[in-house]
């Protein structure tokens, strides 16, 4: 009797260990599959760009985060144009702006400047910063005003005040560049302030992998993938496409 009970206990323990081992193998297999799928998704995201048949004109967004960019590689990767981070608020200047501007032009890539607009600083001070650092050139692409929330700035002005200040900023930088600027509100910013309804400018909208639809009117430029990795630039770059029926002037 005692021996039979012992055998049953041994068998039960063996069965339990087998069940646990089988479960752990399934978990490990599932984790491995998940890791492989994640790796495949990241590999795909780092390389995906919209079809050139649909969007013939494509380009990059570059900042100091990309280090010392090799512009020949950007052109070889298919960048027809580039938007380069320039100024930020009333005092900020991207430390690689001048270098990127010069080297992109030398290699034959058409370029434009990006200003990151701050809700915490006066429009006239921000315009002065932009005018001080971004040269006026006839061959430059229209400037872009990047509109997004910033953890450094807790202010949330009323929509009326924002639109008034933004109109002042645009008037001043456009008098300097001689061209109407683009506005590039992020989805959350646009949802709160509806800038594309209140400011009559060409829009640059952002949504990874799928065309954005959050503006009051169709986008002229779309940042389609912010996860692109290119030889010749550190980290990730933004990849943009131009709507085929329109050209930026």
pLDDT digit string, tens, across residues 94-105: 999 999 999 999
Question: Which tokens sit at 92?
Answer: 């900020």
CA distances from 180 to 44, 86, 169, 174 (A): 36, 17, 12, 6
Q: How far is CA 26 from the centre of its chain?
A: 38
The pTM for the full model equals 0.83
85 φ, ψ to 5°? -60, 130
Question: Which tokens sit at 192?
Answer: 């709160």
The confidence score (pLDDT) of residue 8 equals 62
pLDDT digit string, tens, across residues 215-246: 999 999 999 999 999 999 999 999 999 999 75
The answer to whether 18 and 11 are in contact (CB under 8 A) is no
Distance, CA of 195 to CA of 216 (rounded, Å): 8
Degrees to nearest 5, angle at CA 221 with 103 and 45: 80
87 φ, ψ to 5°? -115, 160
- Mean pLDDT for all residues in the chain: 89
């Amino acid at each position: 009797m005692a021996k039979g009970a012992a055998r049953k206990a041994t068998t039960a323990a063996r069965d339990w260990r087998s069940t646990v081992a089988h479960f752990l193998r399934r978990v490990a297999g599932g984790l491995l599959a998940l890791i492989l799928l994640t790796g495949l998704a990241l590999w795909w995201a780092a390389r995906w760009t919209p079809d050139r048949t649909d969007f013939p004109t494509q380009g990059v967004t570059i900042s100091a985060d990309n280090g010392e960019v090799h512009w020949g590689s950007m052109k070889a990767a298919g960048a027809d144009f580039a938007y380069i981070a320039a100024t930020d608020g009333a005092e900020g200047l991207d430390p690689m702006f001048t270098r990127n501007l010069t080297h992109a032009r030398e290699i034959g890539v058409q370029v434009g400047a990006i200003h990151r607009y701050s809700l915490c600083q006066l429009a006239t001070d921000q315009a002065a910063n932009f005018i001080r650092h971004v040269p006026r050139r006839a061959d430059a692409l229209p400037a872009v005003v990047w509109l997004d929330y910033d953890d450094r700035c807790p202010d949330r002005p009323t929509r009326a005040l924002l639109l008034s200040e933004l109109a002042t900023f645009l008037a001043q930088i456009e008098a300097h560049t001689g061209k109407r600027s683009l506005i590039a509100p992020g989805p959350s910013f646009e949802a709160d302030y509806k800038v594309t309804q209140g400011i009559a400018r060409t829009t640059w909208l952002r949504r990874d992998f799928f065309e954005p639809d959050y503006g009051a009117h169709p986008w002229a430029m779309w940042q389609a993938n912010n996860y692109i990795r290119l030889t010749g630039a550190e980290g990730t770059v933004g990849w943009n496409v131009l709507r085929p029926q329109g050209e930026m002037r």
